[in-house]
Amino acid sequence: MEKFLGKKKISILISGRGSNLKSLIKYSKTKNSLIKIVLVISNNSKAKGLKVASKSKVKSKYIKYLNKSNFENRSLKLLKKHKTDLVCLAGFMKILSKNFIKKLSKPIINIHPSLLPKYKGLNTHKRAIENRDKFSGATVHIVNDKLDSGKIILQKKIKILKSDTEKSLERKILKIEHKIYPLAIIKLLTNH
Ligand code: GRF
């Protein structure tokens, strides 16, 4: 009998380290997980996340980023071939086009290290500290064709301490990311 019967097929797009990928793989391997990871795509051949995938025997593919439409067309083919139900971006550093989102016609979600809509884009922790914010956090949201802008699925807030640096905040928020990404997927898949 097919072991993963009933599980949603997830593909994950990465560009780098892959610590969120690791947390999603960990969740996918828990007894009652709702997902099976069918494919990891990286636009960066040197991404550590590719090693994370191969260590866990998750299928991965490097697609060279020649240009947006070439990358997206090749990705689309693979995502469809693997019957992907949901795409998760995990440290994927490119913006997907409207056309890609439409053609895929499956939900795409992303994790971002700030309390969106605050601090879209890069250097979120630096900006939060420089602005003397009292809180920061992480957000999982639906992807649209504008940077870090789609509907929020789940957000978790933490206090920024006076003693926090960019690095310490990054470390704390990354831990939160690893917790909320699986939770956000569960929330999305179960409509809760
Ligand atoms: C994370 O902070 C994520 O929120 C952001 O990029 C970073 C990726 O880290 N989008 P990793 O590759 O998952 O370790």
Distance of CA 151 from the midpoint of ligand 1 (Å): 19
Nearest residue CA, atom 5 of ligand 1?
91
58's CB contacts (< 8 A; 6+ apart) are 25, 37, 39, 40
pLDDT of residue 1: 44
Residue 82 falls in the annotated catalytic set: no
Distance between Cα 1 and ligand 1 center (Å)? 36
Task: Name residues contacting ligand 1 (CB within 6 A).
Answer: 16-20, 49, 90-91, 111-113, 174, 177
Q: Which of 112, 125, 141, 178 is catalytic?
A: 112
Give the pLDDT of residue 192.
73
- For the chain, strand residue ranges (E) read 8-14, 35-42, 60-62, 86-89, 108-112, 135-142, 152-159
- The pTM for the full model equals 0.95
pLDDT (tens, 9 = 90+) of the chain, 192 residues, equals: 444 458 999 999 999 999 999 999 999 999 999 999 999 999 999 999 999 999 999 999 999 999 999 999 999 999 999 999 999 999 999 999 999 999 999 999 999 999 999 999 999 999 999 999 999 999 999 999 888 899 999 999 999 999 999 999 999 999 999 999 999 999 999 987
Burial profile 19-38: b = 16 or more Cβ within 10 angstroms, e = fewer: bbbbbbbebbeeeebbbbbb
Domains and CATH numbers, the chain: 8-106 (3.40.50.170)
